[in-house]
Amino acid sequence: MVNVEDFGADHSVTKTIINPKDKPKETKATIELDKALTGRDLKDGEFSFELYEGATKLQTVTNKNGKVTFDPISYKEAGEHTYTVKEVVGNTPGITYDTTEKQVTVKVTQDGQALKADLVYPENKTFNNTYTAPQPAKAKISASKILEGAELKNGEFNFQLLDETGKVLQTKQNAADGTVTFDDISYSSEDAGKTFHYTIKEVIPESKTKGMTYDEGSIDATVTVTKDDASNTLKASVAYGDKKSFTNKLVTTSIPPTPPTVDKPELKLYSIQLHKVNQEGKALAGAVFGLFEADGTTPVANPYGEGQATATSSDEEGKKGLVTFIGLEAKDYVVKELTAPEGYQLSTDVIKVSTSELKAATNLVVDKGTVVNKPFTSIPPTPPTVDKPELKLYSIQLHKVNQEGKALVGAVFGLFEADGTTPVANPYGEGQATATSDANGLVTFTGLEAKDYVVRELTAPDGYQLSDEVIKIAASDLVASNNVVDKGNVVNKPFTSIPPTPPTVDKPELKLYNIQLHKVSEEGKGLLGAVFGLYEADGTTPVANPYGEGQATATSDENGLVTFIGFEAKDYVIKELTAPTGYQLLTNPITVSASDFTQAKDLVVDKGNVVNNKIPPYTPPYTPPYTPPTPPTTPPTTPSTPPTPSTDKPKGNQPSGKQSKEGKKQSLPSTGETVSAGFITAGLVLASAGSMLVAKKRHE
């Protein structure tokens, strides 16, 4: 461009024109790295990242879709740039931040009239944070039990905890102080912000206690789970509805002491009395008797109130143990005990009272004498003779019952040393010390020294599951007892059997299959009474009984056949829960695969024979054989004087021959006694040498 002022005096303009070098076109580079979070899902925008060139912070961004993406950077000339990316370390509870720094290099090169940017990333371009979930929160749900009219006993009533769907989660019994406590329920971080509703109900038994009114209401419990983000902790709070306890009432209708005025004064009214005592003749209070018609089954109505005429043995001074029925017409009656005094067995005596007895009674009172109760103790009348007369012998007893508290007969318990595995020898016979529950459920071990023991159930009563309870008895318990330690009730749960006919299902197209197997002995003989349980494929989760409550179980019949009926085609595991009497429990699980069902004939999968081995006989501890001295080859010319017999019992081994029970008992080491391995080895060497000498003489 030439302007007027550019002209000089000579009216000319001089301009120098320089052509600039062409500049290349600029380029851009976008730095992008990866973001990961271990322990939970990653949320967009929850972590921040900074981009530095040298000490200069260029940008700050947050994560999105698992990426850390910075804004594009422009370059106008060739060169190399090194950047550093850092994660901003925050203070979110439970998060462990990645503190590594990632170096990214951008190499800008010129390609003709254009620039090109190449990015070089580190080998690991991921920022990986870790989330640690808070510890689970636990809620303990409880209730209280009240019994009016009687003293509440430990384990007397059963209670169920149900979820919102009505599924039974736990079943517990009350303590003697009335508390009902369920096991803790755990809640995870996924439950935060949620509310859970539960219901507690008392189990009403099929066989109700006479005179007992049961509480059929329910207690509502609500658990609210909250999370404190500041401390990364969970909390489970329990709230209850208006009802917080269950109240049962026991009403025993007793006859009042004074007869009322009757409409017919000419009608004579009589009394029947008896005396409740123990085997030593000591009067017992608290026994309840019922009055029946002559048939022994029809209750006599209480003439002074509702229900049956009953009478309770008195606790009054001077009348203790006295049982009296009053205001009765002269006719035939039967009196039976309904409830025994605490700690005593129910009397089975049937006391008959005739019309003639009443009419002939002095002062209109018939006295039927004493009715004896036996205590829950079965110590043998004569303990065995022991080498140490000063050694005190004790007894251990317990009571076998079902969930309703009914006594169970036929449960076999074994006595073990404190380690829980070594059987205690039977002090009165051979094998292990065992005891079987009688008709009243009483189990008694007698004649025992004061030391630590363990009692375990070996065989459950018919129709019941084997108890896994380990009952421990300390030496101090025995020493502190009045000769007998009572370990209370041991409860067995019944098996829920599957009916033989499958039910109608909502999906008729769904095929239901049967699984069967055959329980046999080593000789191939069918075994009765083996109980098997059905489990999911993991081998631990019980399969629910499709026709009732509890686990699906099946029991072998007289031919050894075991059948599970009406199941879908999927993977299962079968395990033996109770072995037939006299046989060892099967330890190997039986697997059933879904493919077994597709190949099944007539919808039945047969798993063949399952063999049980017999329980081996009890082997007593090893006793070295007694080797008599070798007799002299030349008889003595003068008979030797026989030694005077000792009055003391031998302490070592008896000569060869059949040992007495006392001899066998003495061969066992006493408590604290040790048999030297050196003596046993020496005995074996001597016995071997003696045998070789005899063999040599026979050969010569």
Summary mean pLDDT of the chain: 82
Question: With 50 as the cut, is the pLDDT of residue 671 above it?
Answer: no
The answer to whether position 671 is within a domain reads yes
- The answer on 162 and 246 residing in a single domain is yes
Instruction: Single out the residue in 86, 101, 131 at which a domain terminates.
Output: 131
Query: Sign of dihedral through CA atoms 164, 167, 172, 173?
Result: positive
We report the CATH number of the domain holding residue 115 as 2.60.40.3050
- The answer on 226 and 316 residing in a single domain is no
Question: With 70 as the cut, is the pLDDT of residue 647 above it?
Answer: no
Q: How does DSSP classify residue 166?
A: -
We report the CATH number of the domain holding residue 538 as 2.60.40.10
- The answer on 151 and 240 residing in a single domain is yes
The answer to whether position 590 is within a domain reads yes
- The answer on 484 and 519 residing in a single domain is no
The answer to whether position 645 is within a domain reads no
Instruction: Single out the residue in 456, 490, 524 at which a domain terminates.
Output: 490
Domain ranges, residue 159 = 137-250
Using one digit for the tens of pLDDT, what is the confidence trace for 445-464? Answer: 998 999 999 999 998 888 78
d(Cα 444, Cα 418) in Å, to the nearest integer?
18
- The answer on 242 and 145 residing in a single domain is yes
pLDDT reported for residue 276: 93
Using one digit for the tens of pLDDT, what is the confidence trace for 552-572? Answer: 999 999 889 999 998 889 999
The domain tally of the chain equals: 6
- Cα separations in angstroms, 567 against 494, 604, 610: 22, 10, 21
- The answer on 239 and 143 residing in a single domain is yes
Question: With 90 as the cut, is the pLDDT of residue 409 above it?
Answer: yes
- Cα separations in angstroms, 294 against 287, 332, 350, 366: 22, 5, 11, 16
The answer to whether position 22 is within a domain reads no
- The answer on 180 and 152 residing in a single domain is yes
Using one digit for the tens of pLDDT, what is the confidence trace for 507-534? Answer: 555 578 899 999 998 888 899 999 999 9
- The answer on 152 and 127 residing in a single domain is no
Tell me the residue type at 153.
K
Task: Count the neighbouring beta carbons within 10 Å of the beta carbon of residue 692.
Answer: 10
- The answer on 460 and 444 residing in a single domain is yes
pLDDT reported for residue 424: 93
d(Cα 31, Cα 106) in Å, to the nearest integer?
9
The answer to whether position 76 is within a domain reads yes
- The answer on 92 and 61 residing in a single domain is yes
Whether 450 and 475 have beta carbons less than 8 Å apart is answered as: yes
The answer to whether position 566 is within a domain reads yes
pLDDT reported for residue 266: 55
pLDDT reported for residue 56: 96
* 83-97, 125-139, 296-310, 619-633, range with the lowest pLDDT: 619-633
- The answer on 240 and 150 residing in a single domain is yes
The answer to whether position 495 is within a domain reads no
Q: pLDDT-derived band of residue 691, with 50, 70 and 90 as boundaries?
A: very low
Give the rounded percent of residues in the chain with a pLDDT score beyond 90.
Answer: 55
The mean per-residue pLDDT over the stretch 251-278 comes to: 68
- The answer on 149 and 101 residing in a single domain is no
The answer to whether position 619 is within a domain reads no
Question: With 50 as the cut, is the pLDDT of residue 674 above it?
Answer: no
Instruction: Single out the residue in 373, 405, 437 at which a domain terminates.
Output: 373
| Neighbouring residues of 386: CB distance < 8 A, sequence distance ≥ 6 | 393
